[in-house]
Structure 1
Amino acid sequence: MVFDVLSLQTASSLVILVSAVLYLLDTLMLRDALPGRLWATAFLAGVFSAVCYLVWVSVPGAFVALALGNGAFVAATAFIWLGSVAFNGRPLRIPLIITAVGLVIVVVLALVDGPSAGDWAGAVPLFLANALFAVLGAIETRRGAIGRRWSAAALTTILAIEAAWFFVRTIVFVSQGPDSPVFLTYFGTSVSAFLTMSLVVAAVVVTSVLRTSESALRGNPETRQLIVDRNGVLLRESFGAVLTILVARARAAGEDLCVIGIRVDDLRRVATAFGPEEAEEMARAFRGSVRRHAPTMALVGETDATGLSVAFSTTGATDHRRIVRVLHERLVADLSDLGTSVVPVVGIGVALASVDGADGPTLVDRADANASHAASTGEQPFGLATD
């Protein structure tokens, strides 16, 4: 079965349009946060690019539509990346500048090639820009809050496939030309249309799952929903959100906020050597001991499967070294009393809002990094970590 370019472009546009409409309706109903709005913008850009390409195919001489379609096509990938950056709570200023510069370059170079270049005007910048933003998106989905979502692995795969395909497509286009049998068979318009339809459907599903998770953890601008397990331990995103609020309150009261990171990285090795039951017993004892010995009004949050964080307000008279030392001694004593085959190494690290900033997730990451270092080296600071 052979499909003409207009039919394939129409089918691809229809898939993008339906996906975008459903996603946008869901966005409006959820009153979505910034990541969801950026992902919705990506699908809007996809719709605009599809319309531009349809105009170019069906209306002779509408060359500007092709240039705008190239820019919008790149924008669709770029805004997937931007949504992932926003999901991780990282600053958007530089990524937005990179995106704007990239889009301008793609559109301008297509216009420079002019109508004489036909369907492939500005093709190389288009391919390379898509590959670049897909790589940036794939990297971003493997880090921070989004990287801890199992569904993000699917988005990483989608972006990695897109990056690899456009990169190889560029090489074949430059080396053999758009009329070569290899390019027409594996990298032509028909293959591009089918790949676009598949990736769009997959991206809609994955970003919808991620957005639902993000909305539940961070809430909309008017409300926040915190998630706590049955033992009173805040999940990581909830813990970071609370810390950011408490830092501002502590500063207003002339106080500081201390975050203690605690890790037992030996649990994985214990599970391998002595079985998962013994590792699970240690993990339960570890969590219970941290909750039991943390300061009374302190918050306890989850860093990951083998780490917890404790946060509390402090004053100038607070002895951080003593608090950390006592907490470490009690944790080790509790784990020793289990009578298991080995006693895991407990690492502790400290971060202060006055030293490490007012962002809750950053404080958690800094304290956890110091705790991980202590667990791997055995060098317990029992005080403030130094740069």
Structure 2
Amino acid sequence: MAYWGVHHFVIRGTSEMALDTATLRASFGLMAFVLGLLFYFSAYRTTRSPYSGWWCIALLFFLFGSAAFLLNGTGHQWWANPLGNVLLVHGGVAVWAGARSLRTKMLKRWAFTVFPLVTLLASVVDNPGTNTWAGGPVFLAAMSMTIGLASRELWRLEPGYSRVRIPMAAAAGGVSVFYFGRLVGFLLDGPDGPVFDTFFGSAVTTLVTMVMLVVVSFSMAALSTEQQTRALKMVATRDDLTGLLNRKAFLDLAAEQLADPAAARASGALIMADLDHFKTVNDTYGHAAGDRALQAFAVACTDTVRSTDLAGRYGGEEFVLLLPGASADRAEHIADEVSRRLARASMADGVQMPTVSYGVATYDAGTAGMDALIASADAALYTAKSLGRNRTARSDRIG
């Protein structure tokens, strides 16, 4: 963040301006270095969160990228200037990757090469030996895009995330808009123009950077801590093999949902699922094949249900799905779709995926609770097995 606003400068005719620019760069370099050390020891070493790791990397890119611009006006400018552009854009990509990690999403590998590579090519062909703004439009566009995408990721965090995500998203969005303004000013007025110099020159840029730095300094550590807390909570609530909710977590969340006054007046469905002849799969093909079957079924479930539904591993080869608002017909359709997805999954050596039996039970305001609901779905599942397996039975049709 420290260098989002401190980059290229045009050598002026007075030594005072050059000194001011160099002093600003040195000051921000020291600030980024100190901030990086503090953030590494206070956040990353204690939480080991991906977000804090990406921020440490971003600060290093910003630090060395800005340092490269100190060689502007020297015989090394021809390589230092493009290098500074590339390093700063890498910093912007790292900020984007850090923000994306808060949603447990990995940034695509192409982002780490496309943005810096395009910036490098634009800088190299634009006479970097004599032009301190070589590749300027591409550089400004890349910075605006990467920081803007980081802001988008922060805004997309679920509302339950720490409130500090809001100032962080606003700060990143402000920097992105500022860089876009610099791009427009550069294209319309040029780097030496009065409009560009007045609204996007060193003084304004330094002020914007300092404000952003103050904002994020109080937010980065909090987001890193919360990311680690959520990661630990996920480990405690997720099944190690399938990644679905474990039994206790599912039952707790389902009970909370049914106890919610708003949900109590609603209806929904619960599906109990059991992989048919699963012991045969383990005995015939080995436990590794059985594990792959369980994982494939879990993927089929998560690819089929909504984000508001609950999916958990109930035990062994048994799974359970809670579908708020779903009718019995809708639940049966979902079970059929899960089976279709599972059948399309492939296993090594031509091993076929096992079929699945399902039991469906519905609930409404009169349902006694989770125990009664699971008992009804389990009875329907027993019916499906007794009828030959590889089918769905509904509790309202038993007997």
Please say if residues 78 and 129 of structure 2, whose CA atoms lie closer than 8 Å, have aligned partners that are also in contact: no
The answer on whether the counterparts of 2:140 and 2:180 sit within 8 Å (CA) in structure 1 is yes
| 1:28 Cα offset (Å) | 5.5
Is the contact between residue 351 and residue 385 of structure 1 (CA under 8 Å) also seen in structure 2? no
Residue 100 of structure 1: which of 113, 116, 120 is its match? 113
- Tell me the SS of whatever aligns to 1:381: helix
**Contact kept in structure 2, 1:128 and 1:167, CA below 8 Å:** yes
Q: Which residue of 1 aligns with 2:266?
A: 345
> How far has the Cα of 1:146 moved from its partner?
8.6
Deviation for aligned residue 1:207: 1.8
Superposition map of 1:39-78 within 5 A: 39-56=55-72, 59-78=74-93
TM-score (norm 2): 0.61
Are the structure 2 counterparts of residues 247 and 351 from structure 1 closer, same or farther at C-alpha, using a change threshold of 3 Å? farther
Q: Name the CA shift for 1:374/1:24 in 2 (closer, same or farther; >3 Å).
A: closer
Deviations 1:282-322 (A, max 9, x none): xxxxxxxxxxxxxxx542478xxxxx447xxxxxxxxxxxx
Q: Secondary structure of 1:120's partner?
A: coil
What letter corresponds to residue 220 of structure 2 in structure 1? T
Q: Secondary structure at the match of 1:202?
A: helix
Residue in structure 2 matched with residue 32 of structure 1 by the alignment: 48
Cα deviation, 1:6-43, whole Å, max 9, x if unaligned, reads 22222222222221121122355326132321121111
Query: Contact 2:250–2:310 (CA<8 Å) still a contact in 1?
Result: no
**1: CA distance, partners of 2:322 / 2:43:** 39
Q: Report deviation, 1:343.
A: 6.6
- Counterpart CA distance in 2 for 1:100 and 1:309 is 44
What per-residue deviation string (whole Å, max 9, x for no partner) do you get for residues 173-220 of structure 1? Answer: 1112112111001112332233223323433332211101112232xx
Structure 2 gaps, min length 5: 1-15, 274-294, 312-320, 338-399
Whole-angstrom CA distance in 1 between matches of 2:189 and 2:272:
56
Which amino acid counterpart does residue 71 of structure 1 have in structure 2? V
C-alpha RMSD over aligned residues: 4.0
- SS of equivalent to 2:330: coil
Structure 1: where are the runs of 5+ without partners?
A: 219-224, 227-236, 249-256, 260-296, 303-307, 311-326, 337-341
Equivalence for 2:299 = 357
Q: Deviations over 1:124-149 (max 9, x none)?
A: 11110011111211111123569733
Equivalent position SS for 2:139: helix
Q: How far 1:122 sits from its partner (Å)?
A: 1.1
Evaluate the alpha carbon distance shift between residue 146 and residue 140 of structure 1 in structure 2; reply closer, same or farther with a 3 A threshold. Answer: farther
Q: In structure 1, what is the Cα distance between the partners aligned to 2:217 and 2:89?
A: 17
Aligned-residue offset at 1:358: 8.3
Contact 1:74 1:103 in 2 (8 A): yes
Larger gyration radius, structure 1 or structure 2? 2
Between 1:195-204 and 1:166-175, the stretch displaced more is 195-204
The partner residue of 1:247 within 230, 242, 246 is 242
SS in 2 for 1:15: helix
Alignment equivalent of 1:91, drawn from 106, 127, 144: 106
Asked whether the equivalents of residues 348 and 380 of structure 1 are also in contact (C-alpha less than 8 Å), the reply is no
Is the 1:131–1:162 contact (alpha carbons within 8 Å) kept by the matching residues of 2? yes
Residues 324-339 of structure 1 correspond to what in structure 2 (within 5 A)? 331=258
Distance in 1 between the 2:301 and 2:88 partners? 34
1:284 counterpart residue number? none
How big is the shift at 1:51?
Answer: 1.4
Give the aligned residue type for 2:224.
R
**AA at the equivalent of 2:307:** D
Contact 1:152–1:206 (CA under 8 A) maintained in structure 2: yes
User: Contact conserved, 1:247 with 1:358, CA < 8 A, in 2?
Assistant: no
1:338-382 deviation line (CA, Å, top 9, x unaligned): xxxx9732455769865551898997826269x99954x888834
Does the Cα contact within 8 Å between 1:45 and 1:76 map onto a contact in 2? yes
Aligned to 1:299: 249
Task: Report if the CA contact (8 A) 2:269-2:327 is conserved.
Answer: no
Change beyond 3 A, Cα 1:65–1:148: same
CA distance in 1 between counterparts of 2:121 and 2:302 reads 42
Percentage identity across paired residues of the two chains: 20
Alignment of 1:271-310 (within 5 A): 298-300=248-250, 308-309=253-254
1:103 is displaced (CA, Å) by: 0.8
* Pair 1:301–1:214, CA change in 2 (3 A): farther
Q: Do residues 217 (structure 1) and 256 (structure 2) align?
A: no
Secondary structure at the counterpart of residue 385 of structure 1: helix
Code of the residue aligned with 2:221 in structure 1: it is S
Instruction: Report which stretch shifted further, 165-174 or 342-351.
Output: 342-351
Contact preservation (8 Å) 1:19, 1:201: no
- Which amino acid in structure 1 is aligned with residue 249 of structure 2? L
Counterpart CA distance in 1 for 2:155 and 2:237 is 24
Letter in 2 for 1:243: R
Alignment-mate amino acid for residue 357 of structure 1: V
Of 206, 210, 216, the residue aligned with 1:193 is: 206
Separation in 1 of the partners of 2:134 and 2:143? 15
Q: Taking structure 1 as reference, are residues 351 and 45 closer, same or farther at Cα in structure 2, changes over 3 Å only?
A: farther
The residue type equivalent to 2:149 in the other structure is: L
